[in-house]
Structure 1
């Protein structure tokens, strides 16, 4: 085969050269572009780090080059690599295979799929391996046939994985794995569904608690600037009445920490700290806190303190397994599994609090290295505050819209994304994002409360960047090929957009120790996709919303699980004009449009208002669906509604009314109607509890603790 003199531009070309087949390395498409230049960075790095020395390296390199040429989502290729490479590595080890030509599917793969080796591997691991292997073997063969001439095909056939002579239906693990996954998801969802209001409330209160700590931290720094040489500065403040605790801290900087723990540092370090030179100079200084204790104010109960201190004390923040001994690793793995952080089929240690994003949950190197030298719990405040702020917004959107994490990460501060519409003198809000499986934006309706959380994130980012505008950054999560233009994404920090792993770590940190269990007692941790399942389950099973309506709310196309195939429709609303909140939102007064509209248009809009909940004030709150009413106007308890404190009185009226109805129907002997009246009262009380939580959160948002320092 004739090779061109030019070479790929990829920075990894020199690393691969001489390690893989030269003809594969120089494969080009019909336009003369090297396939290597189109391979995703994460995928090629995984190949170099894990596969380049393996006998099957050419097979998998050819596979990822072809998948890149087919413009497949990079995440698809990454899943393929992580599904095939470890399993083939296992088979080579178990059967003592040395060369790729010795590997046969009918003997080695068949034996593995039948469970003759690695009995500890789950049904799902075997199912995914066979599925990904078959896809690669088939699609690679098809690509060669369509793209290359016969001579080229004959050459590259040596790098094709052999197709199995058996099918997945020949094994029981496929069906068992799917059933097991569905059952596990069902069990976990059942554990979460009743507690969606608790999850939201916990996120609100903890985020407020973290903000109070941050405010106190900065006030303490201001005090130090007024009183030089006063470190360590002891300070404390009282939490709101709901918590009823007093929290005690010490403020440190690097030199003061060294000088007060001299026996644990070398003489050289102590001298540098005294002189405030080198890493201990003013330019390199760093403030952090030591959490000392918490005490109750009005009773003798044990104080709860800060929810996250055990994460630090047990040493499982960040990538905790690095440089850990075997005994330490086993101990921490046991703790994490007890908390529910261990993932099924995972071959790695659980790292729930590793964001892999600068400034989020990361601690300053000095704090990380020397945290065990203090009596209390030493940590940086800002990275925790950032995690809580992002986590609060994410949890709110997940539990009120059922959105996917990829859709959430697309929210950005532009008038094309954030929409505000005025109907009947009330503002209604939404964001636009590209759902999974689509290539155009669709609308996701959100509440006024969610808009408030967006503003909190925006203020945090403006403070972080010290600017009235947040920068436009490149999107870094799944399907980024559809989002190539940099935008001012809300989920960004240190000039980089967050990836899904960073946001998941924020959620786990904010909700840590909020324990849920399946009926079998298995711990369940809150995950983004689980909140989505919980939202859908609540809507279908408890609210009896038709599946096709729920699919529309969730922006899903797959209706294989339901008999409903009709798609509800919604009338388009007026396009956005103007700006709101620093030019992040569009606005249109629909009332004004109606007054100027022809009679026919007026009738259409009136009909639209009868169908579209998002433009109507409903009992006890605000509707956030723009589809045909899912509960036939039975708004009480509907998951498409966000309770509003301003409408609390309406729910109290419902309770009074339900008591009267129950009494009347009891006298009439209408037992079914009696049950309906009781259910009405139950749903009203549930919503009142969430409204009370929202009111408390709003009060605590305004609460400014008085910080007391040592004199």
Structure 2
């Protein structure tokens, strides 16, 4: 047993003392350590600023004790505390309540959930609050009864939120909220599905753009070190012909920035001159100022770097800190217009705050002094790290449909990354534990995906200055399955990434790609949305049976796969149009019936000699290890990875389809004429994707000439 101090050592202890019940404040875990000392400043600051004067302060503090002992995600604790505090504040104000003893779940809460008050609140808001409130009440009650000494239980029970007698099934909003969420998801999927290859390609182009910026930045830093150049140092470089732009930058370090902006500094000048304290060599670092972008050959305005507007508008990181009410309102409205928050909402969403050191968010120095220049101050490495993670996330989600939790498991071990040689070519898979399982299963990936994994590995080895990726503790869901540290690819600064860092990296990479639903609402690409899009593409556009797609997605419940892959509004409209065109054609009802497992096994026996993982097919490589999903009609199949080296095969297919169309037309075989046209359409689509692959491969080898100016 560890010897603990007589009082908590948390820097927040003094602010909480006298505001929170003393027994709660001094509560210790089984090792006799104060739980307060293990709490995170994120939710403690919120609690101090927003809760300590509320009647339910001790109830929420008990809740924080429970979730901290459960080792829950920091942002999850923050969200739970903020949600309950916000809703109770509204209810107490509406009913003029001043004490928790006055609060009646059967009256006050019930009227809210019934919709009698706060009618402007959506069904999803009511549904979420009911779920979170009842979960918190139940789990804290169970924790007190099982984890706290019996002599303390009665005292602590007074701080448990009262449990209502009703549940979600008693209200219509639960079903309504679920249906609305499904409609929203399908509407968003409708936008994304036709653009999957273009989105993936744009992600590749953007990472290459970041790579060129990083290389130019590193060369500028090297020039300063080797030639003893006095900063600032201006440099420019040209983007490839496809972009046709020139970028202008200025390299700074902390002392040079202070000395060149002395009128805006007071106490730091002497330290900057002598390079002491925070301006010493060991505490110094380089950063850049983006000056401008200009077109090389056209009289047009340059697009520049896609992420510059995020920094220009000051919405990266914890943008609400030190901001006035007017600034917060303006930035919130801007983020909402981009789709990162709810329209007309007062909630301050932080879509570009990774909560992970070194990912996207700039250093404290750059953040504090960003307004002292006319250009835009940038820390280059956090941008590159976010972009590199973002592209790997995008690639895996759009080619395998993997879940976020499955991404986080990918690690640099023989048990996870497996390579086999088929027909003298290396083929790859990663092996992780899917949701609801206890054993690893294989996710087959392309050579392109493997290169991106290796790219992340190189970035991590460079970051750590080691030959191998270090092992860290897993921090995603289902932690109990992964108790030992592993060399996870999704890690940085000695910590495994969590969900929010994944979402932030993906948002950053794709920011500015405007996607709007048919109702005109902006769509933000998320990992789960890409999973829906992958399933919808496979079933609705590529006609792969639902039971096979369930294997791709590692899902056991075919109903869920069916929901994921339901046709989108646009697909329904297009299908009706196609149906009108071929109304006299036949429909094979047998193909529409979901096959039983016995039938699948029979088909597997029938096809196992003909198909298999990594077989060569027209225009690419087959990566399914199940029954051929479309009976060997490989053109347009979601289970195939297009291969630029097989481009000539697709060109031959196009010529062949033209010849077939002429022959069938002459014979009056209208259905076969349509099949020939579809064949040509699929081949052209795959050629387009191959062209995009060729373009970003070409840009990978582009090395811009960098020009330096004093």
What TM-score, normalized to structure 2? 0.84
CA deviation after TM superposition for structure 1 residue 209, in Å: 0.8
Q: Distance in 1 between matches of 2:279 and 2:27?
A: 52
Does the CA contact (< 8 Å) of 1:569 and 1:628 recur in 2? no
The reply to whether residue 339 of structure 1 matches residue 334 of structure 2 is no
| Per-residue Cα deviation, 1:406-437 (whole angstroms, up to 9, x for no partner) | 11011111111101112232222111112222
Name the structure 2 match of 1:232.
Answer: 232
Q: Distance in 2 between matches of 1:150 and 1:317?
A: 48
CA deviation after TM superposition for structure 1 residue 251, in Å: 1.9
Does the CA contact (< 8 Å) of 1:473 and 1:486 recur in 2? yes
Q: Distance in 1 between matches of 2:277 and 2:28?
A: 52
Does the CA contact (< 8 Å) of 2:26 and 2:36 recur in 1? no
Q: Does the C-alpha gap of structure 1 residues 88 and 569 become closer, same or farther in structure 2, counting only changes over 3 Å?
A: farther
| Per-residue Cα deviation, 1:278-333 (whole angstroms, up to 9, x for no partner) | 43343333222222222222322322221111111111111111111111111111
Name the structure 2 match of 1:480.
Answer: 479
- Unpaired runs of 5+ residues, structure 1, are 572-603
- Unpaired runs of 5+ residues, structure 2, are 563-592
Q: Does the C-alpha gap of structure 1 residues 699 and 23 become closer, same or farther in structure 2, counting only changes over 3 Å?
A: closer
CA deviation after TM superposition for structure 1 residue 200, in Å: 0.6
Structure 1, 271-280 or 370-379: larger mean CA deviation:
271-280
SS in 1 for 2:112: helix
Q: Could you say what the CA RMSD is over the residues aligned between the two structures, in angstroms?
A: 3.9
Does the CA contact (< 8 Å) of 2:25 and 2:36 recur in 1? no
Does the CA contact (< 8 Å) of 1:35 and 1:66 recur in 2? no
| Per-residue Cα deviation, 1:606-663 (whole angstroms, up to 9, x for no partner) | 9645353x23122211223322222222221122222111111111111111111222
| Per-residue Cα deviation, 1:470-490 (whole angstroms, up to 9, x for no partner) | 211111122222211111111
Q: Does the C-alpha gap of structure 1 residues 66 and 337 become closer, same or farther in structure 2, counting only changes over 3 Å?
A: closer
The reply to whether residue 184 of structure 1 matches residue 159 of structure 2 is no
The reply to whether residue 249 of structure 1 matches residue 249 of structure 2 is yes
SS in 2 for 1:516: coil
SS in 2 for 1:615: coil
Q: Distance in 1 between matches of 2:69 and 2:255?
A: 55
Q: Distance in 2 between matches of 1:382 and 1:559?
A: 43
The reply to whether residue 313 of structure 1 matches residue 335 of structure 2 is no
Name the structure 1 match of 2:535.
Answer: 536
Q: Does the C-alpha gap of structure 1 residues 567 and 526 become closer, same or farther in structure 2, counting only changes over 3 Å?
A: farther
Name the structure 2 match of 1:665.
Answer: 664
| Per-residue Cα deviation, 1:559-617 (whole angstroms, up to 9, x for no partner) | 3355958569999xxxxxxxxxxxxxxxxxxxxxxxxxxxxxxxx999645353x2312
Structure 1, 449-458 or 161-170: larger mean CA deviation:
161-170
Correspondence 1:299-310 to 2 at 5 A: 299-310=298-309
Correspondence 1:568-607 to 2 at 5 A: none
CA deviation after TM superposition for structure 1 residue 500, in Å: 1.4
CA deviation after TM superposition for structure 1 residue 457, in Å: 0.8
CA deviation after TM superposition for structure 1 residue 85, in Å: 4.7
Name the structure 2 match of 1:194.
Answer: 194
CA deviation after TM superposition for structure 1 residue 232, in Å: 2.3
Name the structure 2 match of 1:600.
Answer: none
Q: Distance in 1 between matches of 2:136 and 2:258?
A: 57
Does the CA contact (< 8 Å) of 1:355 and 1:501 recur in 2? yes
| Per-residue Cα deviation, 1:9-30 (whole angstroms, up to 9, x for no partner) | 99889899994595999799xx
Name the structure 2 match of 1:507.
Answer: 506
| Per-residue Cα deviation, 1:83-139 (whole angstroms, up to 9, x for no partner) | 545433432232122333322222111111122322332101111222344455567
Q: Does the C-alpha gap of structure 1 residues 441 and 104 become closer, same or farther in structure 2, counting only changes over 3 Å?
A: same
Correspondence 1:344-355 to 2 at 5 A: 348-355=347-354
Q: Does the C-alpha gap of structure 1 residues 460 and 605 become closer, same or farther in structure 2, counting only changes over 3 Å?
A: farther
CA deviation after TM superposition for structure 1 residue 36, in Å: 9.3
Does the CA contact (< 8 Å) of 1:245 and 1:303 recur in 2? yes
CA deviation after TM superposition for structure 1 residue 218, in Å: 1.4
CA deviation after TM superposition for structure 1 residue 221, in Å: 1.9
Name the structure 1 match of 2:129.
Answer: 129
Name the structure 2 match of 1:388.
Answer: 387
Does the CA contact (< 8 Å) of 1:461 and 1:470 recur in 2? yes
Name the structure 1 match of 2:418.
Answer: 419
| Per-residue Cα deviation, 1:130-175 (whole angstroms, up to 9, x for no partner) | 2344455567778889999999998877566555444544432122
Does the CA contact (< 8 Å) of 1:548 and 1:567 recur in 2? no
Does the CA contact (< 8 Å) of 1:445 and 1:625 recur in 2? yes
Q: Distance in 2 between matches of 1:189 and 1:277?
A: 55
SS in 2 for 1:508: helix
Structure 1, 146-155 or 44-53: larger mean CA deviation:
146-155
The reply to whether residue 117 of structure 1 matches residue 117 of structure 2 is yes
Q: Distance in 1 between matches of 2:414 and 2:21?
A: 49
Q: Distance in 1 between matches of 2:145 and 2:318?
A: 45
Name the structure 2 match of 1:651.
Answer: 650
Name the structure 2 match of 1:574.
Answer: none
Correspondence 1:555-570 to 2 at 5 A: 555-561=554-560, 562=562, 566=596
CA deviation after TM superposition for structure 1 residue 274, in Å: 3.9
Equivalent residues, number? 670
Q: Distance in 2 between matches of 1:204 and 1:648?
A: 20
Q: Distance in 2 between matches of 1:264 and 1:69?
A: 46
Does the CA contact (< 8 Å) of 2:403 and 2:527 recur in 1? yes
Structure 1, 697-706 or 170-179: larger mean CA deviation:
170-179
Name the structure 2 match of 1:526.
Answer: 525
Does the CA contact (< 8 Å) of 1:75 and 1:478 recur in 2? no
Q: Does the C-alpha gap of structure 1 residues 203 and 108 become closer, same or farther in structure 2, counting only changes over 3 Å?
A: same
SS in 1 for 2:415: coil
Name the structure 2 match of 1:594.
Answer: none
Name the structure 2 match of 1:430.
Answer: 429
Structure 1, 687-696 or 222-231: larger mean CA deviation:
222-231
